[in-house]
């Protein structure tokens, strides 16, 4: 008891400084994830025994190279048009290139945008697209339209430049390779949202926070949190542990598995947190083989169940690179490219054993590794070689009798569910970088999903790349040891189409799709208008370009997936109470305000208990990652607090129902004019009432923010004098 007292006192001191620093000035901190391990028994589990010793590390490589019914939920997304298009893309494989030099005659949409609020993909934008000027007759009919080409700043495009240039040329748009003094319509960044800091309008092809969000640890946390709520729906992600914090848990669980059944023989893959292209990855069969330290520092990594039985083609392991466009976060719009790439290993696959654990070319499908194997096959054909189109692989499977419609349907589900898992934190990053009301660009982003097919054809998520390579050349060994970049027809075929069609969808003159989404479409289980096939080809394009290679999957399939967006509703509450612009963490006053506004305290759960919940949870989270040492409560800590509040309030329900009930309760309080505690406004950014999955916080004025900060100071002073009589009641 006295120990606890001392600890809490220390925490009060920390809160004091947080109150002064964070709430007053805004903490520009990173958010961490939950540390709870999903108790999910993954359907992918292949645990076993054996404890070999030599984990292998692959070569370090330079990065410079650069509520629905059960039936509905279980229904396959049988999207014949998507499947059909894959077929077309394979049969007419050079279709896109045939169109390269054909003219796009942009006639305009005929849509009157002026004076209308336009969903820009993220938050509402009131300005009509600048590049379209309309004059109208007195009777309202359009007299004439003048259009100038869409302008694209390509000065920061880096390795995607080649493919981008071809795309812009095909669209007859205007490229600004050195940037432009006046604003451009679209800014294409090679790495991150922050590649160019001085953008106040237009659209940028990166979201703030996406890189951080998709690092291996953060992605694992996000998927695991959702997995906790929906274990059956999120069984596509291999069981994972976060190092170093879950080392003990990992070791204990492995020991128990082996004790229970000595015939099981598990293999694990260890991936450094910030790694890419296979850097630093190694396989192990025993926790003692983990490389826990890098110098004096603990290595941040994810250790993951290794999928021992992947689907093989020509005896080789391969994975799928699928391109996914997040066209908009609010409302959520997801597109999937009908064509993708498959990357093949260069050494015939054998199930892992102690002897072959170090065979990188057998176990890792990374192009950047296999290209150096000596057995890498460069091919101009899309259906042979070490890099092939996805459609060619699917057709090969179809020829063997595989139900590729089902495989596609499962892949689409995996993509939508993964995006749903990362969106909550992404929204926190977004509002911190582009607070509502601040002039700023809107964002979209192409992501690279790496997916493995298991022998039983079940797709497994390996990782999501925030910055997938858009290079259309590949490295080739021209003479022994000398590598050069040479054009790669397969890369060009796939990547130019993805970039060009992303641009077509982001054309500021064609925002029609966002207009048509009624709010109700984002309510759980609500009907949404499925976009007509005309969406596939802009009417302006008059058939000059091939139909879009990007297919909308969300909100198209809202009905099947909207019930999964629970953590996003928790994030919406979190954002509402954040207060200061740019902040990503809740201070103790804001947390109290949340409790009070949502009427969650009572005689059994006093405000003193609330403070203790805050302290306990933030303290637990404060050491999980170096970034999380910032004061305050990040989103994942808030989610944990929310789970614990829900469990305490709705004891008799199962976890998911507890969360839904508490969310409904909180949202009802926030929607109710009576429940709208005036004090809450001092910490909140108002949120539209009807929206449960949308966070449209409006601008908070500096005065309420200052009030919240001074409240925090007062609270901190009071907290210091609280005795621990109340201890933790939760
Ligand atoms: P990187 O970002 O370094 O490429 P990945 O997570 O994509 O890291 O892993 C690299 C490669 O390792 C993948 O392309 C795949 O071939 C293999 N791999 C990764 N995770 C697993 C897994 N859980 N089971 C089997 N193979 C895996």
Please tell me whether residue 546 adopts helix, strand or coil conformation. coil
Task: Tell which wins on pLDDT, 188 or 693.
Answer: 188
User: Distance of alpha carbon 381 from its chain centroid, rounded?
Assistant: 32
pLDDT band at 526 (very low <50, low <70, confident <90, very high): very low
pLDDT score of 141: 45
Mean pLDDT calculated for residue range 356-373: 95
pLDDT score of 147: 74
User: Distance of alpha carbon 149 from its chain centroid, rounded?
Assistant: 32
Tell me: pLDDT of 350 over 90: yes
Atom nearest to 364 CA in ligand 1: 16
pLDDT band at 683 (very low <50, low <70, confident <90, very high): very low
pLDDT score of 102: 30
pLDDT score of 580: 73
Q: Is the CB of 367 under 6 A from ligand 1?
A: no
Span from the CA of 9 to the centroid of ligand 1 (angstroms): 45
Q: Is the CB of 307 under 6 A from ligand 1?
A: yes
Residue the block writes with tokens 């699928």: 322
Separation between Cα atoms, residue 575 and residue 686, nearest integer Å: 10
Which residues, 6+ apart, have CB-to-CB distance to 110 below 8 Å? 142, 145
For residues 169 and 492, is the Cβ–Cβ distance under 8 A? no
**What's the whole-number average pLDDT of the chain?**
76
Residue the block writes with tokens 């083609």: 313
Q: Is the CB of 463 under 6 A from ligand 1?
A: yes
Tell me: pLDDT of 197 over 60: yes
> What is the total residue count of the chain?
730
pLDDT band at 13 (very low <50, low <70, confident <90, very high): very low
Atom nearest to 463 CA in ligand 1: 6
Closest CA to 417 of 664, 230, 569, 655: 230
Separation between Cα atoms, residue 15 and residue 429, nearest integer Å: 23
Q: 212-239 burial string, b = 16+ CB within 10 Å, else e?
A: bbbbbbbbbbbbbbbbbbbbebbbbbbb
Span from the CA of 463 to the centroid of ligand 1 (angstroms): 7
> What are the backbone dihedrals phi and psi of residue 423, each rounded to the nearest 5 degrees, phi first?
-60, -40
pLDDT score of 29: 28
* Max avg pLDDT among 25-34, 337-346, 529-538: 337-346
Span from the CA of 527 to the centroid of ligand 1 (angstroms): 38
Atom nearest to 365 CA in ligand 1: 16
pLDDT score of 94: 36
Which residues, 6+ apart, have CB-to-CB distance to 259 below 8 Å? none
User: Distance of alpha carbon 201 from its chain centroid, rounded?
Assistant: 23
Please tell me whether residue 183 adopts helix, strand or coil conformation. coil
DSSP letter for each residue of 466-510: SS-----EEEEEEETTEEEEEE-HHHHHHHHHHHHHHHHHH-TT-
- 3-state DSSP percent of the chain in helix, strand and coil, to 5: 40, 15, 45
Q: Of 26-30, 439-443, 479-483, give the lowest mean pLDDT range.
A: 26-30
What is the DSSP secondary structure assignment for residue 691, as one 8-state letter?
-
Tell me: pLDDT of 632 over 80: yes
pLDDT score of 489: 92
Q: Is the CB of 670 under 6 A from ligand 1?
A: no
Separation between Cα atoms, residue 557 and residue 372, nearest integer Å: 42
Please tell me whether residue 598 adopts helix, strand or coil conformation. coil
Please tell me whether residue 675 adopts helix, strand or coil conformation. coil
Separation between Cα atoms, residue 358 and residue 651, nearest integer Å: 49
* Residue 455, CA distances (Å) to 48, 292, 311 in order: 18, 32, 4
Q: Is the CB of 278 under 6 A from ligand 1?
A: yes
Q: What is the pTM of this model?
A: 0.77
pLDDT score of 624: 60
Residue the block writes with tokens 């645990």: 47
Mean pLDDT calculated for residue range 506-526: 51
Task: Tell which wins on pLDDT, 374 or 667.
Answer: 667
pLDDT score of 75: 52
pLDDT score of 345: 98
> What are the backbone dihedrals phi and psi of residue 452, each rounded to the nearest 5 degrees, phi first?
-110, 140
pLDDT band at 540 (very low <50, low <70, confident <90, very high): low
Atom nearest to 343 CA in ligand 1: 14
Closest CA to 406 of 90, 71, 79: 79
pLDDT band at 628 (very low <50, low <70, confident <90, very high): low
Q: Is the CB of 273 under 6 A from ligand 1?
A: no
Span from the CA of 393 to the centroid of ligand 1 (angstroms): 19
Tokens linked to 520: 């109700």
Q: Is the CB of 277 under 6 A from ligand 1?
A: yes
Q: Is the CB of 275 under 6 A from ligand 1?
A: yes
Taking CA 275 as the corner, what is the angle to CA 274 and CA 277, rounded to the nearest 5 degrees? 150
Q: Of 217-226, 474-483, 648-657, give the lowest mean pLDDT range.
A: 474-483
Report the chain's C-alpha Rg in angstroms: 26
Tokens linked to 345: 């290993």
For residues 620 and 644, is the Cβ–Cβ distance under 8 A? no
Pairing of strands 473-479, 124-125: unpaired
Mean pLDDT calculated for residue range 426-444: 90
Atom nearest to 306 CA in ligand 1: 24
Separation between Cα atoms, residue 344 and residue 659, nearest integer Å: 43
> What are the backbone dihedrals phi and psi of residue 322, each rounded to the nearest 5 degrees, phi first?
-115, 135
pLDDT score of 675: 43
């Amino acid at each position: 008891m006295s120990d606890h007292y001392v600890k809490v006192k220390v925490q009060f001191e920390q809160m004091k400084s947080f109150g002064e620093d964070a709430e007053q000035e805004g903490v520009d901190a990173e958010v961490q994830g939950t540390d709870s391990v999903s108790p999910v028994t993954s359907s992918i589990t292949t645990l076993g025994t054996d404890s070999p010793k030599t984990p292998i590390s692959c070569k370090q490589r330079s990065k410079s190279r650069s509520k629905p019914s059960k039936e509905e939920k279980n229904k396959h997304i049988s999207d014949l048009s998507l499947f059909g298009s894959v077929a077309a893309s394979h049969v007419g494989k050079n279709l896109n290139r045939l169109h390269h030099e054909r003219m796009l005659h942009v006639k305009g949409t005929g849509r009157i945008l002026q004076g209308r609020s336009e969903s820009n993909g993220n938050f509402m934008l009131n300005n009509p697209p600048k590049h379209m000027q309309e004059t109208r007759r007195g009777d309202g009919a359009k007299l004439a339209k003048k259009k100038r080409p869409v302008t694209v700043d390509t000065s920061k495009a880096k390795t995607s430049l080649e493919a981008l240039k071809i795309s812009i040329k095909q669209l007859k748009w205007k490229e600004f390779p050195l940037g432009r003094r006046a604003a451009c319509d679209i800014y294409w960044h090679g790495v991150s949202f922050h590649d160019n800091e001085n953008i106040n309008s237009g659209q940028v092809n990166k979201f703030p926070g996406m890189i951080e969000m998709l690092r291996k640890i953060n992605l694992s946390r996000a998927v695991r949190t959702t997995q906790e709520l929906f274990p059956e729906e999120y069984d596509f992600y291999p069981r994972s542990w976060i190092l170093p914090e879950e080392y003990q848990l990992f070791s204990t669980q492995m020991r128990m598995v082996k004790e229970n059944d000595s015939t099981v023989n598990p293999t694990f893959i260890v991936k450094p947190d910030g790694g890419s292209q296979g850097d630093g990855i190694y396989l192990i069969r025993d926790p003692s083989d983990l490389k826990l330290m890098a110098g004096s520092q603990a290595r941040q990594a994810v250790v993951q169940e290794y999928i021992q039985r992947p689907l093989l083609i020509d005896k080789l392991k391969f994975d799928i690179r699928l391109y996914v466009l997040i066209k908009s976060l609010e409302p959520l719009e997801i597109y999937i490219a009908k064509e993708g790439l498959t990357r093949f290993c260069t050494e015939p696959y054998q199930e892992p054993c102690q002897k072959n654990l170090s065979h990188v070319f057998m176990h890792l499908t990374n192009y950047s590794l296999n290209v150096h194997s000596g057995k890498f096959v460069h091919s101009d054909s899309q259906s042979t070689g070490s890099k092939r189109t996805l459609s060619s692989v699917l057709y090969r499977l179809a020829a063997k009798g595989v139900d590729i419609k089902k495989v596609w349907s499962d892949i689409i589900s995996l993509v939508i569910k993964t995006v749903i898992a990362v969106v909550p934190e992404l929204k926190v990053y977004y509002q911190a970088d582009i607070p509502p009301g601040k002039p700023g660009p809107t964002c979209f982003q192409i992501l690279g999903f790496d997916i493995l097919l298991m022998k039983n054809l079940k797709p497994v998520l390996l990782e999501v790349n925030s910055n997938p390579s858009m290079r259309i050349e590949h490295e080739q060994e021209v003479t022994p040891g000398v590598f050069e970049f040479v054009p790669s027809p397969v890369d060009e075929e796939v990547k130019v189409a993805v970039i060009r069609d992303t641009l077509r969808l982001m054309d500021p003159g064609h925002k029609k799709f966002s207009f048509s989404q009624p709010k109700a479409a984002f309510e759980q289980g609500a009907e949404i208008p499925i976009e007509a096939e005309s969406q596939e080809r802009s009417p302006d394009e008059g058939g000059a370009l091939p139909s879009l290679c990007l297919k909308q999957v969300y909100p198209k399939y809202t009905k099947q997936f909207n019930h999964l967006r629970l953590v996003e509703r928790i994030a919406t509450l979190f954002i509402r109470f954040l207060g200061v612009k740019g902040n990503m963490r809740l201070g103790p006053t804001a947390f109290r305000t949340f409790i009070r506004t949502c009427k969650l305290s009572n005689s059994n759960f006093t405000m003193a208990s609330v403070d203790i919940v805050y302290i306990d949870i933030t303290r637990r989270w404060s050491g999980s990652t170096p970034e999380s040492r910032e004061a305050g409560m990040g989103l994942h800590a808030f989610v944990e607090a929310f789970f614990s509040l829900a469990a305490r309030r709705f004891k008799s329900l199962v976890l998911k129902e507890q969360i839904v009930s508490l969310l409904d309760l909180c949202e009802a309080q926030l929607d109710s004019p009576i429940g709208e505690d005036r004090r809450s406004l001092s910490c909140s950014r108002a949120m539209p009432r009807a929206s449960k999955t949308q966070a449209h916080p409006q601008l908070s004025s500096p005065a309420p923010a200052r009030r919240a900060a001074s409240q925090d100071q007062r609270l901190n002073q009071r907290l210091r004098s609280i005795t621990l009589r109340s201890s933790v009641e939760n």
